[in-house]
A = this chain, B = another copy of it.
Amino acid sequence: MGRQILVVGFDGIGDRPSKELNGMTPLEAASKPTIDWLASRGAQGIMDPIAPGVIPGSDTAHLALFGLDPFKVYPGRGPFEAIGAGAVLEPGDIALRGNFASVDSNLVVIDRRAGRSEYGLDELVRFLSKNITEIDGVEVRFYRATEHRVAIVLRGRGLSDKVSDTDPHVEGQRISISKPLNDSEEARRTAEVINKLSIEIHNILKDHEINRERVEKGLPPANVILMRGAGKMPHLKKIWELDRIEIKKAAAISATALIKGVTKILGFEVIHPQGATGGLNTNVASKVRAARDMLDKGYDLVYLHFKGTDSASHDRKPREKKEFIERCDEALSRLILEFADNIVIAITGDHTTSSELGQHTSDPVPLLIYSKDVFYDALGRFSERSARVGVIGRIRGSDLIYILSDLAGRQEKFGA
């Protein structure tokens, strides 16, 4: 009933020519015989993960890669930052982004980021999680994010994300009162819960031992959480609910919380293989082995995600990015040899991360599709440059799963 599909997603794969690599991009400079062998019989093109010129986040890009339109379904960063911090969200959950911050006894904000010091914050999140689990019948959960950040999730009936922030966004003002942003009972109630939560957090943190220690060390106390960007988790179509596509069982191999969370929400079985770290030091062989297992088990779609490319780019290390690609290529060789004739393969990524700028850019990502009957260009080497002259031309991220599912014989025609 159709062939299997393997998508290898190198996070932040695209890049720009690098001086350190003699004007080549990391992908261009990498020695990658496995991927280039696919390119010798495959088709290349460039892909705008969201749309031309739009700088993708990893979350919005992955929604698009698996057939959704992020402009329509993305609920703002609150829910996806919570997912990235390890939350498992359900439709209807309200998520907020939070900062640990310092207020004085009049609740006037002294430092919006509590000195950017992470000291003791892990413990404070554990403490909050244990001591505040519910406000007015609404479940409350806390998730530790990076640096001074924390994600807060509210779960219950009749909640709304149409509420204003408690973060005054400037120092020297009292923390704000969350207000309903429309006339609904839901918004009124949610704002009330947030305000009660805000006070309760302050009440149990202000005399916490961690804060005494912080003050002793000359650090501002982390005695409040400023909340912003409330977002409501929508129902997102599962991969098997996409129109006209028949993908029943999908697996995602990743060690990155955000990608694990997004793919899980989309209905993938998520595999975090032993030794996979979500960084440059990940055990690539272990991840490739997991992908093989999933193909052997007959999964219709296997998504193999490597984060190291993105990490190297954010650290402005094009050479490490190149070397990481080389390690992945080597690890992939046996898998590709074994499966290439019988499956449909895409090599691409969720966005471009410039190793020079150290951040995401809107440059389209290179895309390589291999399938025994794809209309190929046989360019022989896979890179940003060759992708720009490939036969696929320029497509969008949300087109990809349709192109692959057709090549795999897993799509019904639209119409008669």
Contacts and interface: CB of A to CB of B under 8 A. Distances in A.
A318 to B, nearest CB: 14
Interface in A8-64: 16-17, 46, 50-61
Contacts of A395: 52-53, 394
Contact of A396 (B52, B54, B59, B400): B52
Nearest to A394: B393
Contact of A54 (B56, B70, B402): B402
Contact of A57 (B258, B394, B401, B416): B416
A192 interface: no
Interface string A366-393: 0000000101010000001000100101
A258 to B, nearest CB: 7
Contacts of A377: 388
Interface string A79-117: 011001000000000000000000000000000000000
Contact of A53 (B61, B391, B402): B402
A240 interface: no
Given A362-B406, A393-B393, A414 B50 contact: yes
Contact of A70 (B17, B46, B412, B414): B414
A403 interface: yes
A331 to B, nearest CB: 28
A17 B50 CA distance: 32
Contacts of A310: none
Q: Which of A74, A361, A400 has the most CB of B within 10 A?
A: A361
A56 B414 contact: yes
Nearest to A47: B52
A77 interface: yes
Contacts of A414: 50, 54-57, 60, 70, 74
Q: Which of A258, A391, A411, A415 has the most CB of B within 10 A?
A: A415
Q: Which of A46, A60, A359, A394 has the most CB of B within 10 A?
A: A394
A364 B60 CA distance: 26
A403 B59 contact: no
B388 A52 contact: no
A80 B413 CA distance: 14
Nearest to A97: B416
B16 A415 contact: no
A16 B407 CA distance: 12
Given A16-B373, A388-B393, A393-B394, A415 B60 contact: yes
Contacts of A58: 415-416
Contacts of A373: 16, 354, 356-357
A16 B384 CA distance: 26
B375 A57 contact: no
Interface in A268-308: none
A399 interface: yes
25 contacts: A16-B373, A17-B375, A51-B399, A52-B395, A52-B399, A52-B402, A53-B404, A54-B414, A55-B244, A55-B412, A55-B413, A56-B414, A56-B415, A59-B415, A60-B415, A74-B415, A81-B416, A84-B416, A357-B373, A360-B413, A361-B406, A388-B391, A388-B393, A393-B394, A394-B395
Given A57-B416, A74-B414, A356-B373, 14 more contacts: A53-B405, A54-B402, A54-B414, A55-B406, A55-B414, A59-B415, A59-B416, A60-B414, A74-B415, A258-B416, A362-B402, A362-B406, A375-B384, A394-B395
Query: Nearest 9 pairs between A and B by C-beta?
Result: A57-B415, A53-B402, A60-B415, A53-B403, A393-B394, A52-B399, A55-B413, A362-B406, A388-B391
